[in-house]
Chains A and B, each alone.
Chain A
Amino acid sequence: MTAQVLVLYFAQSVELTGLKEEELPDVPTPISSRDLWTLLLRRHPRLAALQHHVILAVRQQYVAVGDQVVTLADGDEVAVVPPLSGG
């Protein structure tokens, strides 16, 4: 099974990917959050700079990058959110 998801990029991930959002047509599902992150890394290798300090969210829910398995449906939103530290 695959799903078409909308990936939203925030803060530094916008600079690293050059995108604010993109449609991914054929994301396998169910998929572990680690594999989902790896899939994004393959598309945008520069995202590796954020490894270990990025928040990944699926349908506005935090998912830890690891073994957690997520089931995706067409139109689901995946968000890549690095922290901001400025004030």
Chain B
Amino acid sequence: MAQEVCCLKAQLKEKEKEIAALKKKLAQLEKSHPTVLELHDKVTPLTPLTSNPALSNEDIMRYSRQLLLPDLGVRGQLNLSKTSVLIVGCGGLGCPLAQYLAAAGIGRLGLLDYDEVELSNLHRQVLHGEENQGQAKALSAANAVKRLNSTVECIPYHLQLSSDNAVQLIQQYDIVADCSDNVPTRYLVNDACVLSGKPLVSASALRMEGQLTVYNYRGGPCYRCLYPLPPPPETVTNCSDGGVLGVVPGIMGCFQALEVLKIASGHGSSCGQQLVMFDAQDARFRSIKLRPKQPGCAVCGENPSVTQLVDYEAFCGSAATDKCLKLNLLSKDQRITVQDYKSIMDDAGPHLLLDVRPLVEVDICHLPSSLNIPLSSLQERKSEHLQLLQERISELKQQMAGDCRPPVYVICKQGNDSQKAVQVLDKMSGSEVDNIAVKDISGGLMAWAKRIDPTFPQY
């Protein structure tokens, strides 16, 4: 009898162990594969953010190292959990920003992006992984953030922010962070924040520089107070043209996280009337004291002319994307296709192939027979480059019988700069250099890689 009891007890203990092990396994699985996040393709009303009156034991442990800071404390931590933040753009700035806000225990994160993850994003957009290529950035970012802190409510928006949805969306959040990559979106987000009365923590980065300002905050200026007129589109450089070192937006995105956390916790931002500039080359921060908001501002001033959202692509004269626009500066007979150029190359007729990209891009890849003179050198009429060009034209003339104009084909990455170069060369032809017949190779080297030589690198 006693032996039987003993045996049953032992069996029971064994089963309990088994159950505990199964439970643990289930919990682990659930943790690594959290409930599938729903990707939003339109703006829908959100339920109010539920807030806890006190920190749980798990909260206390998780946030203990920041709870110890008198600057934050329990009250600040509870304030974070009651705050919702909309992140416009899940790229180089938005990734580190979302990461630190989630880690710190922000209540709700709206993650907005209309793009999909590409290989060329991964050097700076650190929430996305190789396996996320092709996935919506908003979803990829939300999943990464959920893995980090499952208590943060994440709402991924795979949509283009527009005049039709921006106010409705922004109204539902306490703080907005502009992590976008183009000028029209920056004006759109600014105006929507002014119209909705939300602070806008805005940062930008390019090459080796970054900038940060908190707009529309405690009497400080808005983006329009500072920049009433958009820059002409042709003067704007984006990351896909100008390049950016990944850690630079990383630093600026972390800086945005800092200011968002200061506002959300109740501490307040010190960048409301300040333009902070980061110079990565010198590892230096500088800041410029700005004026307060301007009474004459078109949106936040005393008699605003912008009382509802407008057409920002028309206002800026450019599209709300950092993707390269296809310029059309030339007539049809001034352009040839990559296929046309391939046959010219195969026929081996005398001609000059002029690559007008900057040297740094020519180092990445180029066609073997090309002569490199950057567009800027042509525009500035750099004498050593003009001399080089003239020499090559003279050689061609010697090869060609008669007095015909030597053909010059101009190529660049995507076919925009090459068109500008054709215009410059047309002006120079017959005066600054001998007469030439200049044509643009439509679509540039990227078209060459796509249609003629699939082994040619794309960047």
Question: Which residues of chain A have a CB within 8 Å of any CB of chain B?
Answer: 10-12, 20, 49-50, 52-53, 55, 57, 60-62, 64, 79, 81-87
Q: B216-252 interface mask toward A, CB cutoff 8 Å, 1 = contact, 0 = none?
A: 0000000000111111100111110010100001000
Asked if B227 and A53 sit within 8 Å, CB to CB, the answer is yes
Which of the candidate stretches B61-69, B91-99, B333-341, B436-444 sits at the interface with the other chain? B91-99
Asked if A87 and B275 sit within 8 Å, CB to CB, the answer is no
Contact among B94, B209, B231, B291 for A87, CB-based, below 8 A: B94
Which of the candidate stretches B7-15, B281-289, B323-331, B415-423 sits at the interface with the other chain? B281-289
Please indicate the chain B residues that have their CB under 8 angstroms from the CB of A62 in the complex: 275, 288-291
**Interface size for chain B: under 10, 10 to 19, 20 to 34, or 35 or more residues?**
35 or more
Please indicate the chain A residues that have their CB under 8 angstroms from the CB of B281 in the complex: 20
Asked if B288 and A49 sit within 8 Å, CB to CB, the answer is no
Contact among A49, A79, A84 for B209, CB-based, below 8 A: A84
Asked if A82 and B181 sit within 8 Å, CB to CB, the answer is no
Asked if A50 and B235 sit within 8 Å, CB to CB, the answer is yes
Contact among B235, B239, B287 for A12, CB-based, below 8 A: B235
Please indicate the chain A residues that have their CB under 8 angstroms from the CB of B287 in the complex: 60
Asked if A84 and B286 sit within 8 Å, CB to CB, the answer is no
Please indicate the chain A residues that have their CB under 8 angstroms from the CB of B230 in the complex: 53
Can you spell out 20 A-B residue pairs with CB atoms less than 8 angstroms apart?
Answer: A12-B237, A49-B232, A50-B231, A57-B288, A60-B287, A61-B288, A61-B289, A62-B288, A82-B231, A83-B204, A85-B180, A85-B206, A85-B238, A86-B206, A86-B242, A86-B249, A86-B322, A87-B92, A87-B93, A87-B178
Give CA–CA (A85, B230) in the complex, Å: 11
Distance (Å) between the CB of B102 and the closest chain A CB? 19
Q: What 4 pairs across the A-B complex have the smallest Cβ distances?
A: A86-B206, A84-B204, A86-B239, A57-B288
Asked if A84 and B211 sit within 8 Å, CB to CB, the answer is yes
Asked if A86 and B204 sit within 8 Å, CB to CB, the answer is yes
On whether A53 and B231 interact (CB within 8 A), knowing A84-B210, A87-B181, the answer reads yes
Distance (Å) between the CB of A20 and the closest chain B CB? 8
Please indicate the chain B residues that have their CB under 8 angstroms from the CB of A82 in the complex: 231
Give CA–CA (A83, B322) in the complex, Å: 15
Please indicate the chain A residues that have their CB under 8 angstroms from the CB of B204 in the complex: 83-87
Distance (Å) between the CB of A85 and the closest chain B CB? 5
On whether A10 and B180 interact (CB within 8 A), knowing A85-B236, A87-B94, the answer reads no
Asked if A81 and B288 sit within 8 Å, CB to CB, the answer is yes
Give CA–CA (A81, B209) in the complex, Å: 11
Distance (Å) between the CB of B64 and the closest chain A CB? 33
Asked if A85 and B186 sit within 8 Å, CB to CB, the answer is yes
Please indicate the chain A residues that have their CB under 8 angstroms from the CB of B228 in the complex: 52
On whether A87 and B203 interact (CB within 8 A), knowing A52-B229, A62-B289, A82-B231, the answer reads yes
Asked if A81 and B206 sit within 8 Å, CB to CB, the answer is no
Distance (Å) between the CB of A54 and the closest chain B CB? 9
